[in-house]
Structure 1
Amino acid sequence: MSTRFHHHDLLRLFAEIARYSSFSTAASALNMTKGAISYQIKTLEADLGMILFQRTSRGVTLTGEGLKLLAICQTRYEEIEAEIHALKGISTRSLTVGVSTYFAARWLSPRLMSFMQIHPDVQIRIQPMIEFSQAEMQDVDLAIRWGNGNWIGGTVTPFMPMPPYPVGDRAAADLVIELGMKEAISHLTLLRDRDDSNVWSDWLNVAKLPRQSRRDALIVPDPNVRAQAVIDGQGIALMDDLVRDDLNAERLFRLSETDLPDYGYFLVQPHSSAPTGAVQSFSDWILGQS
Structure 2
Amino acid sequence: MDRPDLPLNALRVFEVAMRQGSFTKAATELRVTQAAVSHQIARLEDLLGVTLFLRTSQGLVPTDEGRLLFPVLEHGFDAMARVLDRLGGRRDIEVLSVGVNTTFALGWLMPRLDAFREAHPEIDLRIATNNNRVEILREGLDMAIRFGTGGWTGHETIPLMATPFAPLCAPEMAARLRDPADLGQVTLLRSYRSAEWPGWFAAAGTPCPPITGAVFDSSVALAELAASGAGAALLPVAMFERFVAQGQLAQPYGITVSVGRYYLAWPSDRATTRAMTTFARWLSGAAPADAAARA
TM over 0.5: yes
Distance 1:149 1:197, change over 3 A: farther
Matched, 1:110 2:111: yes
TM-fit CA distance, 1:120: 1.9
- SS of the equivalent of 1:144 reads strand
Q: Which has the higher contact order (CA 8 A, sep 6+)?
A: 1
**Contact 2:102–2:132 (8 Å) recurs in 1:** no
Q: What is the CA distance between 1:204 and its match in structure 2? A: 2.1
- Which position in structure 1 is the counterpart of 2:56? none
One-letter amino acid of the counterpart of residue 282, structure 2: W
Give the 5 Å matches for 1:226-245. 226-239=222-235, 240-245=237-242
Cα distance in 2 between the residues matched to 1:124 and 1:258 = 37
DSSP-derived class of the 2:189 partner: strand
Report the CA distance between 1:279 and its aligned residue.
Answer: 1.1
Q: Report the aligned-residue RMSD.
A: 2.7
In the alignment, residue 159 of structure 1 is paired with which amino acid?
A: L
Aligned 8 A contact 2:132 2:147 in 1: no
Question: Do the aligned partners of residues 212 and 275 (structure 1) sit closer, same or farther apart at CA in structure 2, a change above 3 Å counting?
Answer: farther
Is the aligned partner of 1:191 residue 2:192?
no
- Corresponding residue for residue 180 of structure 2: 181
Match of 1:162 in 2: 163
Secondary structure in structure 2 of the residue aligned to 1:140: coil
**Partner SS state of residue 266, structure 2:** strand
Aligned residue-pair number: 204
CA distance in structure 2 between the partners assigned to 1:134 and 1:111 by the alignment: 25
Instruction: Please show how residues 136-285 of structure 1 align to structure 2 within 5 Å.
Output: 136-177=137-178, 180-182=179-181, 184-194=182-192, 196-216=193-213, 218-239=214-235, 240-261=237-258, 263-271=260-268, 273-285=270-282
Structure 1 position 272, deviation (Å): 6.0
Query: CA shift at 1:87, angstroms?
Result: 11
Q: Distance in 2 between matches of 1:98 and 1:213?
A: 35
TM-score calculated relative to the size of structure 2: 0.61
Aligned-pair CA distance for 1:115: 2.0
Task: In structure 1, list runs of 5 or more residues that go unmatched.
Answer: 1-80
Structure 2 residues without counterparts, runs of 5 or longer: 1-78, 288-295
How far apart in 1 are the matches of 2:161 and 2:144? 14
Instruction: For residues 125-171 of structure 1, give each alpha carbon's deviation from its aligned partner in whole angstroms, at most 9, with x where no partner exists.
Output: 10111133443332222211234445445222211222111111134
Q: Percent identity?
A: 26
Greater displacement, 101-110 / 159-168: 101-110
Aligned mates of 1:197, 1:258 — CA distance in 2: 19
Query: Aligned partner of 1:135: which letter?
Result: I
Distance in structure 2 (CA, Å) of the matches to 1:213 and 1:169:
21
1:286 matched residue in structure 2:
283
